[in-house]
Amino acid sequence: MPARKGHPGAPRDYVAPHGAWPQGPFIDDAPLAARYAAAIAAGLDAAIMDRGMTRVDAARAMGVARPTLYDLLGGVTFPDLFTVVKAEQMLGMRLWPNFGDT
């Protein structure tokens, strides 16, 4: 598979110096993908906690490795589509954000 091109770094690299992952705020030139990653991470973490699950339990239920989930929630990696779909299926809810016209 060819290497990805585009924005280097982790999604959390785009948080403004006075901000925090995943709440932000983000630097002005942050890619929209970083904002999507933050919204997905925040929604997933909240849903896991609301259900009284541990992150380990959630990773197991999603069928992903624990480090995959931790990296997504921590803003270390951009979530891939397969992981988002697995999380949405496990939770029975939509995680993909709707930012309207942005």
DSSP characters over the chain: -PPP-S--S-GGGGEEEEEETTTEEE-TT--HHHHHHHHHHHHHHHHHHHTT--HHHHHHHHTS-HHHHHHHHTTSSPPPHHHHHHHHHHHTS--S---TT-
Q: Does residue 34 carry a pLDDT above 60?
A: yes
* Multiple choice CATH, 31-91, 1.25.40, 2.40.50, 1.10.3470, 1.10.260: 1.10.260
pTM for this model (two decimals): 0.89
Residue 54 in this model has a pLDDT that exceeds 60: yes
